[in-house]
Structure 1
Amino acid sequence: MSNPVVERILRGLEQRGNRLEAQAIRGVLAAYKDLNLAELIALLRAASETDSPLARARYMDDLMRSWDAAAAGLSQPPESLAQAVRGAVQSGVTGTVEMFAASQVVTDAFTVPATLQLRFMDHAEARMLEFWGAEPPRLRQEVQAAIRDGLERGQSLDQIGQRIKDRAGVSRSRASLIARNEVSTAAGFAMRESQKEAGVTEYIWRSSSDDRVRPTHRARNGKRFSWDDPPADGHPGEPINCRCVALAVLDPP
């Protein structure tokens, strides 16, 4: 199924995927940039300047309430991430339809029913919400541990504040990874389900052509796989941050 038209379709898929990934990450970075820690820092100043360890400990409830208010914007994924996931589903469906049309094997026009596309999107969004939803509580626990430990050890405001910023930075990196992964996973899922809807049972693994490709995935490039018998780490788009594509095997009747 290697022909100039298919190559053009694949390049379009990759370009759309890169744009959607960038859109998702920009939304994540903006969400973390909106963290306003002014009130928390003011409370930390008062707590860190208190000589008594017991008195410092009494600030914890107020400090965490302040954190919860500051981090409220992280409780839901950015809308741009949700839009990118929906766009990735549409891209996966569109790519499948385009490749079928270019195959010179499928003579009848293939379409994915709108109701099925909506089901794909619901699935992708539910998965994205599940992964995103685990991050704010995790970050809260890390921030709470950093504050409590810093106060118990009598650390300065600057020291505790830096620890909080460090934890937020790590969380931002994790959230960006979630965003990138959910965009590629959504596209791969839509492509897989679209092909199955058409009765396709096998595919050719096609990896991206840059240095981000795993060696194991590069080694699979051009090889044939069954949808019912995935490789150890899953079909294209299923492993973390996998941007590989499944080219439907369309054997002549």
Structure 2
Amino acid sequence: MSVDQADLPAAASAKRRRSPGKTGSYRKKWADFAWGAALPVAVLLVWQWLGDRELISPLLFPTPRVIAESFVWLWNSGVLFENLGVSLYRTFAGFGLGAGLGLLLGLFVGLSRSVERLLDSTVQMVRMIPHISVTFLFVLWFGIGDTSKVLLIAKGCFFPLYIYTFLGIRNTDNKLFEVARVLGYSRFKQIVRLVLPATVPGIILGIRLSLAIAWVSLVVAEMMGASSGLGFLMMDARAMSDTPTVFVGIALFTLFGKITDSVVLFAERRLLAWREVHDG
């Protein structure tokens, strides 16, 4: 028997040993998902049980079955698809604008003391303005079209990215900058090779907070003045005492908020796979 042939059983055995590890990883993910879904599913089951026995008001708390039927009707009629598309456009346009500007300004302010002295105090003052108070001004200035909605969402998304980018740069070990200078890195090279990798954890946290604020801002903007979107659909349903439709809107906001947050978490695990962190 040749050496290669002798190694075949060992290789096959090693492959079999690796396979359970991958299977175990999938099982762990499904177990985590099951544990996370246990409480919401239990709440829905209890809610349905209470509704079937008329222990709660069907007007104030329609059962999950009724809400699901309302969702199907709205989807089949095309009303939900049309308004959902408008809301998604406003959310991601506002998030892209606000988060992008927050990231850029956070980099400039974090890298320069003179820029910090010039801009940071003004930015912090604007951050203290209550979000709900500028809604009326934006509607007054820009009308009830998409512009006011996008700008309001952008305002909310700007500050988390700005703050966490700024803090990520300032918390970077100064010795790394000294090494970069010794190696003759240009300013651009320092940003690409040192600053951005060092600030990735803070940037990702800022993105998660900005996305959460984007969905909240969308609800506020569309409820204060709009002629389309999920918030408008919910306000119109409230005026007609159509509570199931209101719950459909709430469920969709919750679902899309969770999806976007999960996407960012997935990206974080990929980008920061090298980190060793405590997993409980």
TM-score scaled by structure 1?
A: 0.38
Bigger radius of gyration among the two: 2
Compare the two structures and name the one with the higher helix fraction.
Answer: 2
Compare the two structures and name the one with the higher strand fraction.
Answer: 1
TM-score scaled by structure 2?
A: 0.35
